[in-house]
Structure 1
Amino acid sequence: MPRGLGTVLLIVVLAAALATNPDEESFRRYVDKVLKDSGSSWVSRKFLSSISTLVYRRRDYKFFSTVHVPEEDTLFLGIFAYWLPLPFWRRLRGDADEWQR
């Protein structure tokens, strides 16, 4: 692959990531969808949705975002307009704590 083509491809991918970086509202919609799909009642979904802004922290890295939910010690990665739960985050954090001892 010519060097110029690789550079152009990288710029296109980074521009797409920048343009489709999910925001906090999209994370709320994602949480609502997950709660709806899990069979929660409308009342519990609304209650959890209203407090969800209090129990997580979103970090914007321009090309992607992360959301950390401290109570569950779960990390979500938001990239290209999708939210992906990273279930191994807790395991990695536990392993890191053990290595520090």
Structure 2
Amino acid sequence: MTARGAMETTMFKRAEGDARASVTIHVEGRAITAREGDTVSAALLASGLDVRRATAVSGAKRLPYCMMGVCFDCLVTIDGVGNRQGCLVPVAEGMQIEIQKGKREIGK
């Protein structure tokens, strides 16, 4: 990883010829480009950012895994609402995303 928290490389690459419109989302305050129709998890994985969340019980680092809403390893805070499954939420222009670290605070 680099000092800025981005992975040196990512194994997730966009298909050539992907002509979908770009949208800008903000992850931990950093603007990244996603594609219209991407889920939050797909956009995060494609970004190359270190998007591992910390589990509530052990603090173990996790990445989105099943990409279909079963495993809950993709929990993020979206526009101030915690415990959102990033694999089920499509990106939207200007969306604010925070990687969930541990348990969600009550009321957030």
User: What range is the shorter-chain TM-score in?
Assistant: under 0.3
Q: Which has the higher strand share?
A: 2
Relative to the length of structure 1, the TM-score reads 0.27
Relative to the length of structure 2, the TM-score reads 0.26
Q: Which has the higher helix share?
A: 1
Higher RCO (C-alpha 8 Å, min separation 6): 2
